[in-house]
Amino acid sequence: SIINDGLVTLKVFDILGNEVAVLVAKYQSQGEYSVTFIPKNLVSGVYIYRLTSGQFTDIKKLILLK
């Protein structure tokens, strides 16, 4: 969910902080969006994703099980 128009990035990092995927990196208008993440070359484990839009940043954990 994007509150204000602006540059939006959605990135996935491994537990060591290495960037493993960029899912979104573009200007988007406010609204609801969904993104499909297909982790073909990643192993099972804990990952972090970061959503940034203007001054807003949200960071959450995800668990990948294969």
The pLDDT tens digits for 11-65 are: 999 999 999 999 999 999 999 999 999 998 999 999 999 999 988 999 999 999 9
Q: Tell if the pTM clears 0.85, that is, is over it.
A: yes
Beta partners for residue 45, in sequence order: 64
pLDDT score recorded for residue 3: 87
Residue 4 has what pLDDT? 86
Strand partners, 28: 6
Q: What pLDDT is recorded for position 1?
A: 87
The reported pLDDT for the residue numbered 66 is 86
pLDDT at residue 54, as a whole number: 87
What residues contact 16, with CB distance under 8 A and at least 6 apart?
A: none
